[in-house]
Copies of this chain bind each other. A is one copy, B any other.
Amino acid sequence: MNLREKLKLYVITDRRLRNEVESVKEALEGGATAIQLRLKGVPTREMVEVGKKIRKLTEDYDTLYIVNDRVDVALAVDADGVHVGQEDMPVDVVKEIAPNLIVGVSASNLREALEGERKGADYIGAGSVFPTRTKEDARLLGLGGLREIVENVHIPVVAIGGINHENIREVLKVGIDGVAVISAIVGTKNIVEATRRMKEVIEEYKGRGTKQLTIILIN
């Protein structure tokens, strides 16, 4: 599995917007390349039940499957990885207790991104790129901060926070590996269509990047 490729369009669940299983089914049909199960304030047993259903779906679509915060749930549902924030388990501790999980770390500035990389993270979730109401406690990174992270870490970078169909091109220009989205996909009526449209823009840009590289090589 090419992690950079798998991180291209990373859809995060949000129960306040739509049931997890429903939204994941539709996002997968629309072409999501990664799914993050994010459940807050839900009993562990329910997390495991929902998480196993999503494992089946992501397996059918050969999609990367990440669980937010909970290493135990990630292990119990056989997810590919876990995503941890600055208040969650430290990356090095995750790697100690679950060496086979892919670990993503949220970073809202360069220092956090470099620390995550140093402690063994496999990718960085960098944000918030734009102001957002989905994660109210998110600190603003901005496009400038995002660029700084992309230029300084060697692991893949996924941009997150307030990204939608209107502003996604500005984010792609920075040269990130993927885009993480909650409300612009899970908060829409037609999740399949919203995913498909976003995927098209990403592939168009990624394709263009390759062409530019080809031209440079020819010159």
A residues in contact (CB < 8 Å) with B:
43-46, 48, 69-73, 75-76, 84, 86-90, 93, 96-98
Q: Does A44 contact B97, Cβ atoms closer than 8 Å?
A: no
Copies of chain A in the complex = 2
Q: Does B69 contact A93, Cβ atoms closer than 8 Å?
A: no
Q: Which residues of B contact A93 (CB under 8 A)?
A: 48, 76
Instruction: Sample 30 A-B pairs with CB under 8 A, ordered by A number.
Output: A43-B87, A43-B88, A44-B69, A44-B70, A44-B84, A44-B87, A44-B88, A44-B89, A45-B86, A45-B87, A45-B88, A45-B89, A45-B90, A48-B89, A48-B90, A48-B93, A70-B72, A71-B72, A71-B75, A71-B76, A72-B72, A72-B75, A72-B89, A72-B97, A72-B98, A73-B89, A75-B97, A76-B89, A76-B93, A76-B97
The DSSP consensus for interface residues of chain A is: helix
A105 to B73, CA, bound (A): 18
Q: Which residues of B contact A86 (CB under 8 A)?
A: 45
**Top 4 closest pairs, chain A to chain B, by CB:** A71-B72, A43-B87, A72-B72, A75-B97
Q: Which residues of B contact A89 (CB under 8 A)?
A: 44-45, 48, 72-73, 76
Q: Does A76 contact B96, Cβ atoms closer than 8 Å?
A: yes
Question: How many Å from the CB of A121 to the closest CB on chain B?
Answer: 15
A90 to B51, CA, bound (A): 14
A43 to B89, CA, bound (A): 9
Interface-central residue, A46, A69, A72, by most chain B CB under 10 Å: A72
Residue of B nearest to A93 (CB): B76
Q: Which residues of B contact A48 (CB under 8 A)?
A: 89-90, 93
Residue of B nearest to A69 (CB): B44
Q: Which residues of B contact A98 (CB under 8 A)?
A: 72
Q: Which residues of B contact A97 (CB under 8 A)?
A: 72, 75-76
A86 to B93, CA, bound (A): 28
Residue of B nearest to A52 (CB): B93
